[in-house]
Structure 1
């Protein structure tokens, strides 16, 4: 069958869809009919600007806000809900009023709500025109990738195609169709011919080779309709070693036709994938994480493929910024050393664990990693244990210090309200934050959610959780489908059944934490806390707002102790060595360390201590990365 793979809104404008680009690449290696792609989120971007008559540069921000920041309110899905057939006696005016009130109550600005309402009015015209064009391709089958806010846009376009050409097949796949969610899509939306659960290579290869839907009954991961019921073929966990390099040619062809491509092209990063699943999740899944669904088993390509893949992507498109979609960086054989030795100006992004040390982070920076998403989540070791993060507050602070030192942008979130959280866990973070205003603040502060596939969802009673049903946004995303809404939903309302502290006390502390992080963000750009080494001295520059102590020159035991705790050290050992080396009584050294702890020069946790200042070696970041062991040749 001739297959067209479709990437619907609200995929990031700056990222070609790796989901369809990797599957399109199969068409060059496997037998079967051609596989082509359509980046219709770029079509929607152009249509929306012309329909609303708005400034393109302003609408870029609106698009990003809807696609990234307002996903939790269902905005992107709701906009396209008006293009689907009404359910029951739904009144559009009432629907718009109720949803506008829902957004206002959650702090969305009046101007943005007005824009959202206008976009919903425009969406049916867009889906109709797009469906006309897609049907004209004479494709036998249309496959839609869906994650985050792409489900309802995909359904709206698929329905418009089926209205015009009932004989054409429409399939949906991606995160929104994994396990029970995919079967719920089939039950709730009868115009969908099938869904693909799990990883899509085997299913897409089968669809391309088939002559009819009847030949797909045994294809891996496909759910089909059969005599009024659903026929489910279980997904297969794929090997990733032989997966082809994604083909992004069609994205760039479409981008070049966009009248305002100059707003997007300078910021494009090319997605790639070296691994699937999560090696930490295999060992101990984080309590709140539902990311991998049925794809938790960890599989990784050999590290030698990294340089080859990035070289092929960047040479073919002339783009030097890249973006790993891996859930987590491989522990070993990840290819970073070879990428560092290539000495090219390619930059990339990885998700990593926050317990990486100086050598590992030096290797990352030397390889061109300029942004990371570490799973920090909290600066309290107690909270991290509750979340099963496999790291401590010490690890997370060391990570932030090293990222600042190496010029790596650390993008992280701060979570609270997890089951078992105590006042002390919040209070220790409130005390700490004024001392680390020079380090990267979290992007958001939010309450822990209960997402499908997470341990919180799968074993709620074990964590003292009672599920209360889907989040309220799903009433607007899937109206009139009460019996299916729970199976369609990914995020759920919940209550904690075991209250370990006074509710008002915890609420007050969480509000204070949010306010203090807000101040952290405001003060961050003006905050400086660094040190430089000299011959037998250390010069500390402490210009942190409200707590800074100015310039200090450390000599003798103070110089030795400070150096021994850079990037972390054992307290007892450091004190003993410094005392013996300088002839200073251990009590005096301990007193000095205690003073440094009280003024936030050093963070002490258990038997370890960490200097919170950042090394200003006056070397460029790559030179510093090489010094930390990040370049294997060290020429």
Structure 2
């Protein structure tokens, strides 16, 4: 079958769709008929600018906000819902008024609400025009990748295709179609002919090679509408090596043809994938995480393929910024050492576990990793234990310290309101934050959600959680009367059935935490806390707003004690060495540690301590990375 794969809005403008590009690359390996990728989100960008009559510079911001920040309110999906509704003019007017009120209740600015309403009005015309162009290609099957806010845009275009050409197949895949959600989509939207549950390579290869629908009844992971019923084939777990290097030629061809492409091109980063699943989730899944769905089993490509993949992508497309879509960086054979040795000017991003040490982070920076998303989630060890993060507050603080030293942008979030959270967990973070304003603040502070596939969702009783149905946004996204929103939803309303603390007290503490993080963000740019080593002396510069104590010179035992806790050290060993060197008692050394902890110079946790100041070694970040990696900066 001739197959067209569509990446609908609201895919990130600056990222070619790795899902579409990877599956399209199967055709270059000789599997079946040609596969054509369509980057419809770039078409939508051009269409919306023209239809709204706004400047492209303004709409870039609107698009990014809807796609990246307002997913939790269902905005991107709702905009395309008008193409599916059959409620008439009066019903549409009521739907617009209700949803606008919903957005205002959640603090969305009036100007943006107006833009959302305007986009809803023009989206059906876009879906119709795109469907017309797709049908004109003569393709037999149209496949849509759907994750985050892409489901309803895909449905809107799919319905328009079936209205024009009922004999063509409409196929959906991606995160919104995993396990029961995919079959729920087919029940709710009868024009969808098939969905792919799980990974798509096997199913897409089968579609491409098929001569007719009858050839698809056993395609792996495919749920097919066949002979009046749904024919379900179980998905298969693909080895990571089965995925070809994505081909992004179609994205760049469309981008070059896009007016105002200069607004997007400088920020483009090429997605790639080295692994699937999560090795930590296999061992102990984080309580709130439903990200991997049915694909938790961890599989990784050999590390040597990292350099090969990035060379292929960057040389083919002339873009040196790259972006790993892996859930988590491989522990051992991850290829970073070879990439660092390659001495190329490629930059990249990885999601990582936050208990990485100096050597690992030094290697990452030497390999060109300039941005990471660590699973920090909290600065309270007690809360981290509740979340099953497998890390402590000291691990997370050490990670932030080293990233700041190396110029690695750490993008992280702070979570609260998890089951069994105590006032003490919030209070310890409130006390800590004024001392770490020189470190990267969290992007957001939010309550823990209950998402499908997470332990909170799968076993709510184990955590004292009562599920109360899908989040409210789904009544706007899927507005049909006979729609089973519980089967379609990914995020759910919930309440805790076991009260561990006074609700009013916890609410007040969470509000204080949010306010303190807001102040952290404001102060971060002016906060300075660093030290420099001399031969036998350390000079400390403490200019953190509100808590800074100025300049200090540490000598003899204080110098030795401070050095022993840089990037973390064992307290017993440090205290013993300083006591022996200076002849002071161990209690006197412990008193020094307590004084430093009160000043926020160090963080103490159990048997370990960590200097919170940043080393200002008068070297560039790469030189510092090479030092931490264990190499000489002089090569």
TM-score of the superposition, structure 2-length normalised? 0.99
Match for residue 471 of structure 2?
A: 471
Match for residue 14 of structure 2?
A: 14
Match for residue 211 of structure 1?
A: 211
Match for residue 462 of structure 1?
A: 462
Match for residue 356 of structure 1?
A: 356
Tell whether 2:205 aligns with 1:232: no
Alignment check: 8 A CA contact 1:8 1:144 kept: yes
- TM-fit CA distance, 1:482: 5.2
Match for residue 243 of structure 2?
A: 243
- TM-fit CA distance, 1:31: 3.0
CA distance in 1, matches of 2:53, 2:632: 54
Tell whether 2:113 aligns with 1:113: yes
Alignment check: 8 A CA contact 2:188 2:483 kept: no
Match for residue 528 of structure 1?
A: 528
Match for residue 189 of structure 1?
A: 189
Tell whether 2:568 aligns with 1:568: yes
Q: Deviations over 1:20-61 (max 9, x none)?
A: 100010001133110010000000000000111111111111
Alignment check: 8 A CA contact 2:404 2:439 kept: yes
Alignment check: 8 A CA contact 1:142 1:169 kept: yes
CA distance in 2, matches of 1:280, 1:451: 18
Tell whether 2:285 aligns with 1:261: no
- TM-fit CA distance, 1:583: 2.2
Match for residue 174 of structure 2?
A: 174
SS in 2 for 1:190: coil
Q: Deviations over 1:569-588 (max 9, x none)?
A: 11121111011112223222
Equivalent residues in 2 for 1:361-440 (5 A)? 361-440=361-440
Match for residue 603 of structure 1?
A: 603
CA distance in 2, matches of 1:21, 1:74: 26
CA distance in 1, matches of 2:584, 2:614: 26
Equivalent residues in 2 for 1:605-620 (5 A)? 605-620=605-620
Alignment check: 8 A CA contact 2:627 2:633 kept: no
Equivalent residues in 2 for 1:543-582 (5 A)? 543-582=543-582
Distance 1:479 1:281, change over 3 A: same
Match for residue 5 of structure 1?
A: 5
Match for residue 502 of structure 1?
A: 502
Match for residue 485 of structure 2?
A: 485
- TM-fit CA distance, 1:535: 1.5
SS in 1 for 2:434: helix
Match for residue 68 of structure 1?
A: 68
Match for residue 150 of structure 1?
A: 150
- TM-fit CA distance, 1:633: 10
Alignment check: 8 A CA contact 1:377 1:414 kept: yes
- TM-fit CA distance, 1:127: 0.8
CA distance in 1, matches of 2:631, 2:346: 15
Which deviates further from its counterpart, 145-154 or 124-133?
124-133
Match for residue 79 of structure 1?
A: 79
Distance 1:406 1:630, change over 3 A: farther
SS in 2 for 1:403: helix
CA distance in 1, matches of 2:440, 2:481: 43
- TM-fit CA distance, 1:240: 1.2
CA distance in 2, matches of 1:483, 1:90: 21
Match for residue 590 of structure 2?
A: 590
After the TM superposition, list the runs of 4 or more consecutive aligned residues in structure 1 that deviate by more than 4 angstroms: 87-90, 630-634
- TM-fit CA distance, 1:241: 1.5
CA distance in 2, matches of 1:444, 1:73: 15
SS in 2 for 1:83: coil
Alignment check: 8 A CA contact 2:381 2:392 kept: yes
SS in 2 for 1:214: helix
Equivalent residues in 2 for 1:91-130 (5 A)? 91-130=91-130
Alignment check: 8 A CA contact 1:363 1:631 kept: no
Tell whether 2:201 aligns with 1:201: yes
Query: How many correspondences in the alignment?
Result: 635
Alignment check: 8 A CA contact 1:340 1:631 kept: no
Distance 1:186 1:357, change over 3 A: same
Structure 2, gaps ≥5 residues long: none
SS in 2 for 1:329: coil
SS in 2 for 1:293: coil
- TM-fit CA distance, 1:226: 2.8
Alignment check: 8 A CA contact 1:223 1:231 kept: yes
TM-score of the superposition, structure 1-length normalised? 0.99
CA distance in 2, matches of 1:390, 1:476: 38
Q: Deviations over 1:298-324 (max 9, x none)?
A: 000000000000000000110000000
SS in 2 for 1:118: helix
Tell whether 2:334 aligns with 1:337: no
Which deviates further from its counterpart, 78-87 or 49-58?
78-87
CA distance in 1, matches of 2:194, 2:457: 26
- TM-fit CA distance, 1:481: 4.2
The Cα RMSD (Å) is 1.2
CA distance in 2, matches of 1:482, 1:432: 51
Alignment check: 8 A CA contact 1:223 1:233 kept: yes
- TM-fit CA distance, 1:229: 2.2
Alignment check: 8 A CA contact 2:623 2:633 kept: no
- TM-fit CA distance, 1:89: 9.9
Distance 1:157 1:198, change over 3 A: same
Which deviates further from its counterpart, 240-249 or 202-211?
240-249
Distance 1:483 1:142, change over 3 A: closer
CA distance in 1, matches of 2:359, 2:287: 29
Which deviates further from its counterpart, 271-280 or 589-598?
589-598
CA distance in 2, matches of 1:311, 1:325: 17
Match for residue 283 of structure 1?
A: 283
CA distance in 2, matches of 1:269, 1:11: 13
Q: Deviations over 1:489-545 (max 9, x none)?
A: 000000000000000000000000000000000000000000000021100010100
- TM-fit CA distance, 1:242: 3.4
Alignment check: 8 A CA contact 2:128 2:160 kept: yes
CA distance in 2, matches of 1:432, 1:520: 11
Tell whether 2:443 aligns with 1:443: yes
Tell whether 2:274 aligns with 1:274: yes
Alignment check: 8 A CA contact 2:626 2:633 kept: no
Alignment check: 8 A CA contact 1:2 1:139 kept: yes
